[in-house]
Amino acid sequence: MLKSVDIEKLLFIDIETAPEVYNYNDLSSVLQQLWQKKVKHFIAKQSAEEVYKNRAGIYAEFAQIICISFGFLVFNQATEAYEMRIKSIANRDEKVLLQEFSEMIIKSFSSIHRFSFCGHNIKEFDIPFICRRLIINQLVIPDVLDFSGLKPWEINHIDTLDLWKFGDRKNFSSLSLIAHKLNIPTPKDDIDGSDVARVFYEDDDLDRIIKYCSKDVITVARLLMRLKGIDLIKDENVIYVE
């Protein structure tokens, strides 16, 4: 499977998001009304406050990016094993974070044909979310992220969720579920996605969020390696770049 994919030309990526404001009641009256319209099909069963607590972090109009982790694989000829280099950009000022990420992308990956993004559900979430938040922050979308006007087959990023669907559009499987079923080891940590907003606002612990985001990048890389039928990256071969 995926014999034509050059695994060393993939940039594995994951983002973590949190609501722009932690509590629904801190929204302006206008935004409260717009939120109720946005999630009106959920409010029938839960209050607007409850839905905000559980879902605000996934909507780019109401949430911000607090961490972007990305990494790439390199085959070490001496050890005959893959190594992975991971870098995370995290900041409580989203505009600063996005500027740093854009500059890195433009500097290191200036050609859209040089590499492909790879992530889990990046077509529906990560990439569109980054682009929307760039626009909201009045920043320019780098060419390698701007897929407007391209035909579906011209968009070169790889989504492991799509690969796992095998054409079954109604199927959605989380990265953690697929990793568990395929016996893919995941780095240990003490939080999951539902904890991110709390850890960000209540614990003020961005380092824990960085560790969690990096974990997903490693897991996505291992998932793709499993799908390609090659040996998985080992923990000791993961290099974290400052």
CATH superfamily of this structure's domain 7-20+62-232: Ribonuclease H-like superfamily/Ribonuclease H (3.30.420.10)
Two tokens, residue 27: 């929204």
30 touches 61 (CB < 8 A): no
The CA-CA-CA angle for residues 211, 56, 200, to 5°, reads: 35
- pLDDT of 35 reads 96
Of 9, 13, 38, 11, give the one whose Cα is nearest residue 129. 13
How far is Cα 183 from Cα 51, in angstroms, rounded to an integer? 34
- pLDDT of 143 reads 83
**Averaged pLDDT for residues 34-47:** 89
User: Does residue 61 have a pLDDT over 80?
Assistant: yes
Question: Where do we find the tokens 């999630």?
Answer: 39
In the beta sheet, which residues pair with residue 87? 70, 241
| % the chain with pLDDT above 70 | 94
**Averaged pLDDT for residues 48-54:** 93
How far is Cα 48 from Cα 54, in angstroms, rounded to an integer? 10
Widest CA span in the chain: 61
For 4-13, what is each residue's pLDDT tens digit? 888 999 999 9
- pLDDT of 28 reads 97
Two tokens, residue 180: 């568990």
- pLDDT of 111 reads 53
Two tokens, residue 87: 């870098």
45 touches 110 (CB < 8 A): no
Angle separating helix axes 29-38 and 48-55, nearest 10 degrees: 80
24 touches 49 (CB < 8 A): yes
Torsion of CA 142, 115, 239, 221, to 10 degrees: 110
11 touches 68 (CB < 8 A): no
User: Does residue 71 have a pLDDT over 90?
Assistant: yes
For 157-215, what is each residue's pLDDT tens digit? 899 999 999 888 777 899 999 999 999 988 766 788 889 999 999 999 999 999 999 99
DSSP for 136-197 reads HTT-PPPGGG--TT--GGG---EEHHHHHHTT-TT----HHHHHHHTT------S--GGGHH
Of 143, 226, 214, give the one whose Cα is nearest residue 184. 226
